Amino acid sequence: MKEVKENILVVPEQAITRNRLRKAARELVAERGILPPADFSLIGQMADDVIALTGTDTSFREFAMVVCGNEIWRPIVAATPFNRRLLLIPQCLKNESNCKAEIDQLGLICAGCQSCQIDSILQKAEELGYATLVAEGTTVAVSLVQEGSVDAVIGVSCMSVLQKSFEPVSRAAVPVIGIPLLFEGCAETDVDNRWLNDELTNFHENEKFRILSVSALKESVRLFFYEEILSKTFGSADDQTCQLAIQSMLTGGQRIRPLLTALAYSAYSGNVSDELMASLSVVVECFHKASLIHDDVEDNDDFRYNTETIHKLNGTAVAINTGDFLLGKGYELLGKLPLDPAKLAACYQLVASGHVALSLGQGADLLASSHKTILSLDQQLEIFERKTGSAIRVALLLGAVAANASENDLEILKTFSGYFGMAYQIKDDLDEFRESNEHTQPADYPLLLSLLSQNMDDSSSANLQLFYAENDRLRISELIRENETDWKAEQLLQEYTNLAYRELDKLENLKMKLSLYTVLGKIF
């Protein structure tokens, strides 16, 4: 038996104790109907209950937390096909004296010498169809799930690594089963092979718990935006205005809004290859690209996605008209969708309300910028909610309404969109400030100006207003750093990100909840 140090997280030495805690955790999760993801405090409370119910020593509380977390994710992992799973095991399982493996940038490449258990574990997993990785790779595992290479992870690691991994894994909504090594150490450790085999071979077909692959859906959405497809969709493709509109649809961007529409439609309809999903996604992108064309004119920006803007190449009048054409085309395509009249009316109302909110937000933004006015923090956040929040709201709700989402979930998504929009814009302002160059202007990060002004006395605030009117970029940057305004913006970003996550936890639809967790985890 290895000596257990006082400050090291421990795993029960006896298999009977480990199994008793696992069984109690499984029964508790089933009894309470807890679905993922669950926060750290809830899992801690559950671990305390498991310890009490089993009469187990409290030194195993952290182990009980691991098994409670496993049971919460178990339905998702169990419903994931073997060929969509990753087995992650640590290098410390190898035999240090006889190991013939090589190490590359990802981890250990097993030589198959059979001097340790790594070879047999990998063979078993690969026969089932698993992707495998021998490394301490929490970051790699999260990245592989976010990239769409795998949908779930079974990870073997020491207790301390499992504990540190909880926050990033939970925030990214990575379906994971964690199996702790039997003792801590950096070499020749051991794992409960019976437990590992049970997890590797556990599979239950259940469509309810088959999550959506955000990356796979993102690839599907990308395929909606090819010139031949858009030319057919738009018609009159020989017309120059139509060609300019199509080119704007093809140029740049991450397609976040059509992706959100596709996610919502897929999550609530259960269909990931429907023509209606494609049409809805194109409609949303029409509205988005129209707003960008108009925005570039209003802000007098000559480049978008490192490409000259339409107004730079063809003049302001042509650009405005192209944006108007895209707005009209979006409404025209929306009207042709095979939806019943009530749904179609709801979709039209949703889009129209979004345009009104966007225009009000953009109007307030333009007026403040033109008059060199630093808005209050509440005013600036309201602009973010109206501009970006409304765009996110239209994208999500258009897909959700078309797919018969419940009224409860629709209301939650409305609130979520506002928090998401504000967090997105706060992050964007922070990035603008931190990555600023000689072309960056203080007006490019208005939230930081509002935060800075809010924390100044009247005299200092008046000086800031003067610096802003004179476009004194260097002095304003100094004040932001001196007052740690960017750090305060980080706190505000965290606040609104947390509010967004809290709304997601209320959703009835598990696929929608986990998909949006993945989106937030990747962005923030």
- DSSP summary character for residue 455: T
Q: What is the pLDDT of residue 521?
A: 86
Whether the link from the prior residue into 341 is cis, omega within 30° of 0, is: no
Non-local CB neighbours of 22 within 8 Å, separated by 6+ positions: 67, 70, 71, 195
pLDDT digits (tens, 9 = 90+) for 76-126: 999 999 999 999 888 776 656 566 555 555 555 554 666 567 888 989 999
- 3-class SS at 14? coil
Query: How far is residue 196's CA from residue 201's CA, in Å, rounded to a whole number?
Result: 9
Mean pLDDT value of segment 182-186: 74
Return the structure tokens found at 48.
Answer: 């305390």
Per cent of the chain over pLDDT 90 is: 69
Mean pLDDT along residues 145-166: 84
- Tokens 């000559």 locate to 302
pLDDT at 479 over 50: yes
pLDDT tens track for 33-56: 999 998 889 999 999 999 999 999
| DSSP helix/strand/coil, 461 | helix
Highest mean pLDDT among 146-160, 201-215, 308-322: 308-322
What is the set of domains in the chain, with CATH numbers? Answer: 15-209 (no CATH), 212-338 (1.10.600.10), 359-524 (1.10.600.10)
| pLDDT tens-digit readout, 486-509 | 999 999 999 999 999 999 999 999
Query: What is the band of 463 on the pLDDT scale with cuts at 50, 70, 90?
Result: very high
Confidence bin at 5 (pLDDT 50/70/90):
very low
Report the pLDDT value the prediction gives residue 504, as an integer from 0 to 100: 96
Structure tokens at 115: 């001097």
pLDDT at residue 9 in the model: 76
Q: 206-215, 397-406, 479-488: which has the minimum mean pLDDT?
A: 206-215
Mean pLDDT across the chain: 90
Q: Is the pLDDT score of 205 beyond 70?
A: yes
Task: Tell me which of 152-166, 179-193, 281-295 is least confident.
Answer: 179-193
Residue 16 has pLDDT above 70, yes or no: yes
In the structure, what pLDDT confidence band is assigned to residue 211 with cuts at 50, 70 and 90?
A: confident
Q: What is the mean pLDDT of residues 17-32?
A: 96
Q: What is the pLDDT of residue 94?
A: 62
Tell me which residue has tokens 């087995």. Answer: 87
List Cβ neighbours of 279 (8 Å cut-off, separation of 6 or more). Answer: 333, 336, 337
- How far is residue 149 CA from its own chain's centroid? 16
Tell me the Ramachandran region of residue 107: left when phi exceeds 0, alpha when psi lies from -120 to 50, beta otherwise.
Answer: left
Closest residue by Cα to residue 210 from 75, 64, 300: 75
> What pLDDT sits at residue 276?
94
The CA distance from 487 to 493, in Å, is: 10
pLDDT one-digit tens code per residue, 328-342: 999 999 999 999 999
Does the pLDDT of residue 273 top 60, yes or no? Answer: yes
pLDDT the model gives residue 207: 86
Position 176 pLDDT exceeds 80: yes
Per-residue pLDDT, 116: 60
* Residue with tokens 């192209």, as numbered in its chain: 322
The band of 1, judged by pLDDT with boundaries at 50, 70 and 90, is very low
Note the pLDDT of residue 107: 58
Question: Which two three-digit tokens encode residue 111?
Answer: 């030589």
For residue 158, the model assigns a pLDDT of 84
Q: If you write DSSP's letter for every residue of 55-97 in order, what string do you get?
A: T--GGGHHHHHHHHHHHHHHHHHHTS-GGGEEEEE-GGGS-TT
Are the CB atoms for 261 and 255 separated by under 8 Å? no
pLDDT, mean of residues 411-436? 96
DSSP structure class, residue 386 = I
